[in-house]
Every structure is written in structure tokens, then in C-alpha cells.
Amino acid sequence: MSKEMLNALDALEAEKGISKEIVIDALEAALVSAYKRHYGQAQNVEVEFDGKKGNIHVYAVKEVTEEVFDSQLEVSLKEAMEVNKAYEMGDKIRFEVTPKDFGRIAAQTAKQVILQRVREAERNIIYNEFSAYENDIMQGIVERQDRRYIYVNLGKIEAVLSKQDQMPNEFYQPHDRIKVYVSRVENTSKGPQVFVSRSHPDLLKRLFEQEIPEVYDGIVEIVSIAREAGDRSKVSVRSTDSNIDPVGTCVGPKGQRVQAIVNELKGENMDIVEWSEDPAVFISNALNPAQVVDVIFDPNNNKACTVVVPDYQLSLAIGKRGQNARLAAKLTGFKIDIKPESEMESYYAEHAENEETPEEEVHDEAIVASDLTADEYENIEFEEKTAEDEEQV
């Protein structure tokens, strides 16, 4: 048994990547249970497995006491000192109690427990490995699908792609290679489960990092993403280097860089806009390709605004089924109300009337309050200034 066990441990370590220490710990725990079950002993037992020779030893552990009440758990100080005079009250002494036939019985009993521990160890290894990929992108192969999920082979594990995480314009066949975003990894009683997505906004971010070195290196930063998977997305970018155009860098020569991402997402349209710390500029950029005439912020809500566009650009600004406006609102974090110029004429007229200088307002109020004509008011003001000048002289 000793050689067979050592060979099995070596094979597990080589083939499964499970260290000998993990299996030996599982084996020793299983052998303790096997001993108590087969020999009906209620004593404290420890089992040691010799990792070099493969031998198994069973020890009964007893506490040194002055008076023995349970011989299976206790040993008198007198008996202990016969073994070693250094023993004192409260010390633990181990007595070997290995049965002659224990090797055969224990091996049979422990087999299932060892296999279970090995499976648990394998699950933990896989869980730890794939936890490192959480919130990252992986490439897998479509294995099969049912009404709820598409099952994607990621190598050591089969991930699940749910309906809500699929792109509506995509259809998958077995053996298709796809890139997926690892949204979460769970360690369940049935083993690790990996959940992946094709519709998550961060899939887009990871694809940008893969295709655009400046994004991966942090020279160009993705600030925000608004995505309606499979149809259209908006991405705001900024550059940490004033000499680098963030939008042009992402688009690439003749649009090659962004086209690679569009192809991966099966034709999903993409607007890349420049982020600005000026909300009005950022909102205007976010509504691309529409032209923006003005951005009027709500004085009662710092995250709401009215955007004015030329009448002929209204449909373009709102977009099909409101998509352009909806994505711009998600991208900027503002509630956006889009108005044509013609509807804002009265607003601008009223706003212009209220834009009088403070001096004119004071002048008019003074004339009304004094019941004088404008000429009479000017003469009085001139005479007062002349009198002040004479006093100073």
C-alpha cells in the first residue's frame, strides 16, 4: 500500500496540480474517522502518514492527570514518568495503537473521503484561477445551448451566458469562438460557476484595451460608456497627453482600430466622443452627430439641462426611438431635454429683455421715484457734482 499511495500522490500532483500536503491532510482526517468507526474507540486519536515511506501510524492521545477517570483519555502522572521523567501534569502523551490490519481497512474506508477532498481541492484551484479573471475578458468556444443559457468552454470550466447577457443580433453555433466578459465567479456546493456576458458595457472597455495600446497604457482614458448592446454605443475618452488626440487615437487610421471592435460586436455602431470638464461641451459632444446651438442648465437641478438644436437637426439629435438622446444622457449623467430653436425664441426674447445694466436700472428708478423728466434729473445730478467740486477746492 505504501508504494501505491506514494505513486498516487505523485500522480495527483503531476496531473491535477494538487499538492501532496492537501491530499495527506485529507487522508489523515479520513483515517481518524475510519479507525473510530471500525474499532469503536472513543479516545482522542491522531493519524500520521509518512510522506517518504508511505507508512501509516495511529496514536492515542492522553492527558497526564493526577487521578485517572477515563483510561482512554487520561494517563496518571506516575505512568507518564515511567515513559519520560520530563512529563508534567496537563501534558499530552501519544501512544501508538496502530492495528495490524488497519492498512487494508483504512484504505478502503478512506477512499471516498479522499476522492471528495481531491474534488474540493480541484474546485478551489479552478475557483481561484477564474476569480482572477473576474471583470476581465476571455475567449471561449460555444459548446451547446438550451432555452436559458449558452454554455461556453473556457478551458478548465464551462461558463454560462444567460439570455440577458447575450446580444440580440447574435446567433451562436457549436464550436464558434467568442470573446466574453467574466461578470462574476461563484464558489457553489456544486463547484465553481462562471457567469459571462456579451452585453456588459465593460466588455467594450476591455476590447478597447486589447485593440488600442494607448488605452491599455493609460495615455487615453475611457471616462464613461453608454451601451445598447448589438445596436449602438457611445464612449467618452480623454487624453493625459496634450499632444495626443483621444478620439483620433481610438478610431485609428481609416477607422481600422474601431472597426476591429465593431466587427467583434457584429456591427454594433459606435460613437467615440471627447470628454470635457465643461458639462456644456461634454453634452454637446455626446449628442454627436447632431449640432448643438445652446445648453441651458436647470437652476433647480444641477443634473438637468435643456439642449437647443437647429429645427432641421431635431430628429437627428433625438435619434431613432430616442436612442441618441438616451445614450447621451447615460454617457453624461445628465437629464437632457432637447428643444428646437423655434420653440426657444420666446425664451431668448424674455432673457434679452431682462439683461439690462445695473446703472440703467438705477437711473430709471431714480427718475420714477423723483417724478422728474430725464433732462431735469440730469441737471440736478450735474449741479450736485459741481457743488461737491467747489467744496473740495
* pLDDT tens-digit readout, 22-58: 778 888 888 888 888 777 766 788 888 887 777 888 8
Enumerate the domain spans of the chain.
Answer: 2-129, 132-197, 205-268, 358-392
Q: Quick: pLDDT tens for 132-153.
A: 999 999 999 999 999 889 999 9
Reported as a pLDDT band with limits 50, 70 and 90, residue 2 is low
Between the alpha carbon of residue 24 and those of residues 6, 66, 74, 197, the distances in Å are 10, 36, 28, 39
At which residue does the C-alpha cell 478597447 appear?
208
Distances from the Cα of 342 to the Cα of 52, 291, 298, 307, 312, angstroms: 90, 15, 20, 13, 10
Answer whether 211's CB lies under 8 Å from 183's CB: no
Q: What is the mean pLDDT of residues 199-226?
A: 96
pLDDT of residue 361 exceeding 70:
no
Give the span between the Cα atoms of 104 and 38, in whole angstroms. Answer: 12
Whether domain 132-197 has CATH 3.40.50.150: no
pLDDT given for residue 22 in this prediction: 79
Report the alpha-carbon distance of residue 184 to residue 165 in Å, rounded: 12
Measure CA 246 to chain center: 24
Please state the CATH superfamily assignment of the domain spanning residues 205-268 in this structure. Answer: K homology (KH) domain (3.30.300.20)
Domain 2-129 has CATH 3.30.565.10: no
Decide if pLDDT at 118 tops 80.
Answer: no
